[in-house]
Each structure stands twice: as C-alpha cells, then as structure tokens.
Amino acid sequence: MNPLNHVAIIMDGNGRWGVKNKNSRNLGHKEGLFAVEKIIKQTIKRDIKYLTLFAFSTENWKRPNIEIAYLFKLLEKFLKEKLSELDKQNIKLKIIGRRKFSLKLNKILEEAEKITFNNTKLQINLALNYGSKNELIDGIKLLNKKNEKITIKNISNNLYTKNIPDPDILIRTGNTKRLSNFLLWQLAYTEIFFEKKLWPDFNEKDYDKIIKKYKSIKRNFGNI
C-alpha cells in the first residue's frame, strides 16, 4: 500500500453551489468552509501529515470586489474563531503565496503561523494569493541571489513549499479537469483525482473513497 503523507485540494464549485442552493455565490463560499472543517478532521483521523488547500489564487483577483472582500472576511473570521481550536488539535498553519494583503490580515496570518509553529499532528498549507508560476519566479530569483546552482533540489528548496514533501494526492472538486496554476512543480508525480461534486457537497466518505483508491494504485515513478 502506498504511504500517504500529503493531500492537496483545489476546492472548486463554491460559487455554483451557492447560486444553485442559496442564490448567492458568497453563501457558497460560506458553505465551503464547513467542508474545509470536515476534511481537516478526516485528514487528522487518517493520520495524514500535510494538507494543502487552494483558498485564493493569483487569478482570483479578477473576481468582483464584493466576492474578494467576502472571501477575505471569511478567512479572517475563520482564523479568529478557530485558531485556538486548531492549535489545541496540534495543527500547524502555513501560508503559501505572495503575501500582499491588508496590514490587518498580514498580522493575523503571521500570528496564526507563529502560534502554531511548533505543532506536529498536521500541517495545513493555506494557498493564498498563490500562483505556481509566481512561486517559480520568486524561487528562481532567490536562488540567483544566493548564487546557487540550478538543480532540482535547489529549486525545490527555494519554493514556498520548501521542506514539504510533494503531494501524493491532488483532489479537484467541481467537475473541472485542470490544474489552474496550482503546485505545477510539486505535482510532477502526484496521483490526480477529479471529483464531480461541488466542494460544499464533498464529504468524508468521498475523501475516504479517494484515499482507498490511491492506496491501491501501483506508483512507478517512471520505473516499471
């Protein structure tokens, strides 16, 4: 059976769920947060060490201001209300992405990372203002600055995901089959699962089904 250390998720479909069920895209995001909480719990239950969640992409800035503002408010509220619980559960929070947020949100994010820094049960990487192409540009610039050789190891070590093993599983909900500029370098040998359900409808059972399927796959990594 394949070891499972890292699951990455593109949580797609909130907007469609919201329009269909509540006549509001934003209420779809609110509902999506309940699915986030369910999946965090299940990740701990399955003893998986890393969970990377795509919460806001560099391309999401193209959305209407009212939706962007709602998403960041939701994040702020989530951290305010749940940080101590996450900390109690021994969860470490790490933000990946270019940090260009309001001073207030920056402070909240830094504080959350600081408080949970030494936690060991599960590391949640929250991808915020994240774009894989920007990550590669930032990483290669760093590498140049330090005069390091261009090698696979050195590139990996200069990405936001430094010291984090590559994802074993990528899940994308929402019935769309694309990577949307998410972890392009890190997904080189990841098993990819496209799920028809919209993110707010995705539950522990769906997650377990994917995990079970993943465990039975023969992973060759180019070998035979």
**Residue of the chain from 75, 91, 122, 183 that contacts ligand FPP (CB under 6 A):** 75
Per CB under 6 A, which of residues 135..154 are in contact with ligand FPP? none
Contact 182, 54 (CB under 8 A): yes
The answer to whether residue 12 is catalytic is yes
Q: Residue 106 or residue 151: which is nearer to ligand FPP going by CB?
A: 106
Q: Are 4 and 168 in contact (CB under 8 A)?
A: yes
Closest contact distance (angstroms) between CB of 154 and ligand FPP is: 31
The DSSP element (H or E) to which 50 belongs, if any, is strand 50-57
Identify the residue among 11, 127, 170, 171 touching ligand FPP (CB under 6 A): 11
Give the whole-angstrom CA distance, residue 215 versus residue 25. Answer: 35
Task: Give the whole-angstrom CA distance, residue 108 versus residue 80.
Answer: 8
Identify the active-site residue in 21, 60, 181, 203: 60
Element housing 56 (H / E): strand 50-57
For residues 107 and 32, the answer to whether their CB atoms sit within 8 Å is: no
Task: Identify the residue among 7, 8, 33, 159 touching ligand FPP (CB under 6 A).
Answer: 33
The site for ligand FPP (CB under 6 A) is made up of 11-16, 29, 32-33, 36, 53, 55, 60, 71, 74-75, 78, 126, 174, 199
Active-site residue set? 12, 60
